[in-house]
Amino acid sequence: MKILVVGGGGREHALTWKIAQSPLVEGIWCAPGNAGMAAVAECVNIGAEDTGELARFAEEKRIDLTVVGPEAPLVAGIADLFQDRGLAVFGPTREAAQMEGSKDFAKQLMLEAGVPTGRAEVFTDYEAAEACILNRSAPYVVKADGLAAGKGVVIAQDDRAAYAALKACFQDRSFGSAGEKVLIEEFLEGQEVSIICFVDGEDILPMAPAQDYKRVGDGDTGPNTGGMGSYSPVPVLSTEGYHRCVEEILRPTARALAARGIHFKGILYAGIILTAGGPKVLEYNVRFGDPETQAVLPRLESDIVEAMLAVVEGRLAGASLKWSDDPCVTVVVASGGYPASYAKGYPIGGLEEAGALNGVTVFHAGTRPGEGGEILTDGGRVLNISALGADFAAARDRAYEAAGKIDFEGIYYRRDIALRTLEG
C-alpha cells in the first residue's frame, strides 16, 4: 500500500514511524513532513491545509490511504473532499469534525448522550457573558467555540482575567469567527487523562490511556503550551476507571453521533478529568493527541494500518489491539523562550547518540534539514524523546539520558515528566 501522512509535527512522525512498521506498506509520503520523517518517508512540500493540492497529489501518486494528523484540515473538510474524489482517507468528515471544531456542538451532543461533562453556558455577545461572570465565582473556564490553535481556552482565576478572555474573543476578535461564540464552563478539578479511540459509527476501539503536560515549567507552572511531555499508561486510572471512561463516555458519544445520522470514521480523542465525582469530559478532539501519541504508539504491538483500514472499510467491530506492558515516557525538547518568541535554525547535536539508546525513539517535531546535511531547529517544540522501560523509573531514566545527549542553542525541557508516577 501507498500511504500519505498529512502534517509535520511530532505526532505525525510517530504515526509515520508506526505505519512504516506495517508489512502492508510499500511506500509513505508526508506532506509537509519534517527532517525526522524524511528518514522513513518521502516529504513533499504541500501544506497540511492545502487540501486541494493534497487530493491532487494523492491521485497522481495513486495513494491507497491518506492519514490526516492535524485538526484544521479535518474541520475544513479534507475527508469530504477526498471521499468525493474516490480517495480513501482516515479521518472524520467536516460534519463529524465539529466534535473538535465547535465546543458548543460537542457540549450539546454530550448533554444529549448523558455523557458526564462540566456545566456550560453559551454566549454570542460580551454583555451577556459579563453578566454570567457577575453571577458566578472563580475559577472560570472561558472557551472560544471554534479552532484557535490551542489558545482558545483560558482558565481565569479571577473576574478580571475572565473579562480579559471575553474581550479577546468578542471585542479584539483575536480568534476571528472562532471566538464569535464563547462557552463559560465549570472548572473541573482532578488529574487529566487522554483516551484516543478508533471509531467507525457505533463501533469503537480505544487505545491505552495517556497523560500530557500542558504547562511549560516544572510543577505545572508558567503558560500553556502545545504539550511538554506525556506518558502511558496512567497509573492513577484503574482498570475499572478506564472501563467507565469507555462505557460512560466514548461509547455513548459514538452512539449519539450515529443517532444524529453522523457516521464518525477516524479518531475521537477524549480529554477526561478524573474528578471526585467520577470521570468528566473536558474536551473532544477528532485526531490523535500530541504529544500523547508519541507515548502511546511505542507501546502498541499491533499493526496500526490494520486498525485504520478496519475503520475505513467498516469492520472495526472485530478488531483488537495488543499492548506492551512496558510504560513509555515522552519528553518534549523545546527551543528556549517557547511558548513565547524563540529563535530557529540552530544545528542539533546528539541525535544519533540519543536514538541509539535502548528503548529510545527520537521523534522530530520542529526540525528541518540544513544545507550541509545537518538538522536544524525549526519550531518551538523541536524533538519528542520517547523511551520504553520495564517500569516508569527505567523509562524516565532512559528518556532523560537521551535528552541529555541532545544539544542546541537555548535547549529547554521539563525535568519532571512522569515524576508523579513514581510518587505512589
> Least separation, in Å, of the C-beta of 147 and ligand GLY?
11
Q: Does 290 bind ligand GLY (CB under 6 A)?
A: yes
Q: Identify which of residues 188 and 351 has a Cβ nearer to ligand GLY in the complex.
A: 188
Short-list 191, 183, 116, CA closest to 156: 183
> Least separation, in Å, of the C-beta of 272 and ligand GLY?
12
Short-list 263, 206, 200, 264, CA closest to 237: 206
> Least separation, in Å, of the C-beta of 329 and ligand GLY?
15
Select from 233, 289, 339, 355 the one that contacts ligand GLY (CB under 6 A). Answer: 289
3-state SS record for the chain: CEEEEEECCHHHHHHHHHHCCCCCCCEEEEEECCCCHHHCCEECCCCCCCHHHHHHHHHHHCCCEEEECCHHHHHHCHHHHHHHCCCCEECCCCCCCHHHHCHHHHHHHHHHHCCCECCEEEECCHHHHHHHHHCCCCCEEEEECCCCCCCCEEEECCHHHHHHHHHHHHCCCCCHHHHCCEEEECCCCCEEEEEEEEEECCEEEECCCEEEEEEEECCCEEEEEEEEEEEECCCCCCHHHHHHHHHHHHHHHHHHHHHCCCCCEEEEEEEEEEECCEEEEEEEECCCCCCHHHHHHHHECCCHHHHHHHHHCCCHHHCCCCECCCCEEEEEEEECCCCCCCCCCCECECHHHHHHCCCEEEEECCEEECCCCCEEECCCEEEEEEEECCCHHHHHHHHHHHHHHCECCCEECCCCCCHHHHCC
Return d(Cα 338, Cα 375) in angstroms, integer: 19
> Least separation, in Å, of the C-beta of 71 and ligand GLY?
8
Q: Identify which of residues 364 and 381 has a Cβ nearer to ligand GLY in the complex.
A: 381
> Least separation, in Å, of the C-beta of 200 and ligand GLY?
21
> Least separation, in Å, of the C-beta of 268 and ligand GLY?
12
Select from 93, 102, 211, 285 the one that contacts ligand GLY (CB under 6 A). Answer: 285
Q: Specify the stretch interacting with ligand GLY by CB under 6 A; choose among 77-85, 283-291, 303-311, 378-386.
A: 283-291
Q: Does 12 bind ligand GLY (CB under 6 A)?
A: no
Q: Identify which of residues 47 and 150 has a Cβ nearer to ligand GLY in the complex.
A: 150
Size of the site for ligand GLY (CB under 6 A): 6
Q: Does 292 bind ligand GLY (CB under 6 A)?
A: yes
Instruction: Match 456545566 to its residue by C-alpha cell.
Output: 119
Q: Specify the stretch interacting with ligand GLY by CB under 6 A; choose among 58-66, 163-171, 248-256, 282-290.
A: 282-290
Q: Identify which of residues 33 and 291 has a Cβ nearer to ligand GLY in the complex.
A: 291
> Least separation, in Å, of the C-beta of 292 and ligand GLY?
6
Neighbours of 306 (CB within 10 A): 14
The pairing of strands 221-232 and 211-217 is: antiparallel
Q: Does 227 bind ligand GLY (CB under 6 A)?
A: yes
> Least separation, in Å, of the C-beta of 49 and ligand GLY?
17
**Cα 171 versus chain centre, distance:** 29
Ramachandran angles phi, psi of 269, nearest 5°: -115, 120
Q: Identify which of residues 226 and 327 has a Cβ nearer to ligand GLY in the complex.
A: 226
> Least separation, in Å, of the C-beta of 150 and ligand GLY?
7
| Cβ 122 vs Cβ 179: under 8 Å | no
Q: Identify which of residues 143 and 405 has a Cβ nearer to ligand GLY in the complex.
A: 143
> Least separation, in Å, of the C-beta of 195 and ligand GLY?
12
Q: Identify which of residues 200 and 290 has a Cβ nearer to ligand GLY in the complex.
A: 290
> Least separation, in Å, of the C-beta of 288 and ligand GLY?
8
Neighbours of 143 (CB within 10 A): 25
The residue whose Cβ lies closest to ligand GLY is 289
Q: Identify which of residues 5 and 38 has a Cβ nearer to ligand GLY in the complex.
A: 5
Q: Does 91 bind ligand GLY (CB under 6 A)?
A: no
Q: Does 266 bind ligand GLY (CB under 6 A)?
A: no
Select from 200, 212, 248, 326 the one that contacts ligand GLY (CB under 6 A). Answer: 212
Q: Identify which of residues 282 and 305 has a Cβ nearer to ligand GLY in the complex.
A: 282
Q: Identify which of residues 284 and 392 has a Cβ nearer to ligand GLY in the complex.
A: 284
Q: Identify which of residues 64 and 290 has a Cβ nearer to ligand GLY in the complex.
A: 290
Contacting positions for ligand GLY (CB under 6 A): 212, 227, 285, 289-290, 292
